[in-house]
Amino acid sequence: MRHSRIVACSSSLLLATACLSAAPTTVEGAPLTAAMRYVALGDSYSAGVGAGDYLPGRTACKRSSRAYPVLWAEAHGASSFAFPACNGAQADDVRSGQLGPLGPRTRLVTLTVGGSDSGFASVMATCALGGTSLCLSAVDRARSTVDRSLVHALDRLYSAIRDRAPAARVVVLGYPRFYHLSGGCQVGLQDRARAAVNDGVDHLDTVIARLAAAHGFTFADVRPAFAGHEICSRSPWMRGVDIPIVTESYHPTAPGQAHGYLAALDRVT
């Protein structure tokens, strides 16, 4: 897919650098004022952080040509495609900075967001550096944040999406579990901490799925696709700690985007 066919801005689950959208461009030369038929919103998991082959433009957004929205638009011949997802985006960032391409003609919206809101960047830093006890406490705090503030932020965002794109099918994709327990990792977190992180992801997905259903949206669960491909598995589709490029840590690889996220989206579309 040619780079000129991609809209400009991506987003991140675990890293805190928020990137509000610059003026995005669109496929087929369609102007931004004409609502895009497919609009891909969200955070780094939507943008494709960790998958490589990043597109030109706002480099902080780290949009990848291997991200599942790009792959879906190419495979299904989307007549127009906007890609304002951006590294570091939280739910309120999406609501305030990414909804411009939506309109009455929009037919499909995809979205992955909520991980940054829950504070999982600091959770994973604590788990990596602080030991099991501190890790468990950090996960508990993140779960509380999901229940308190994320619920309201997602409710506002989902309502805004429906208001802007009343005829669109909206697919909300969740997050994969990070760790394969009793796997091949010889260093790093203990399995008790890994299990707690996975439980935290499960809780996040449960809340996202419940709110998506309440708004009439479709929830696409990626956990079954990633089963057996988590960190510490024999064939991981998730990155562990990446010291040279910390931003890419705990994000899907290109196979994770193609065989995990795209497969989950294809199942519901």
Enzyme catalytic residues: 44, 251
Instruction: Report residue 190 CA to chain centroid gap.
Output: 26
Distance CA 105, CA 7 (A): 17
β-bridge mates for residue 218, sequence order: 171
Dihedral, 228, 15, 62, 146 alpha carbons, nearest 10: 70
**Number of helices and strands (H, E) in the chain?**
10, 5
What are the distances in angstroms from CA 231 to CA 128, 144, 205, 227?
Answer: 14, 25, 18, 10
User: In which region does residue 199 sit, left (phi positive, over 0), alpha (psi from -120 to 50) or beta (all else)?
Assistant: alpha
Give 257's DSSP letter.
Answer: I
**Within 10 A of 268 (CB to CB), how many other CB atoms are there?**
13
SS3 state at 89: coil
For residue 93 the two structure tokens come to 């960032």
User: How many other C-beta atoms lie within 10 A of the C-beta of residue 70?
Assistant: 27
Structure tokens at 139: 């996960």
CA distance 166 to 62: 29
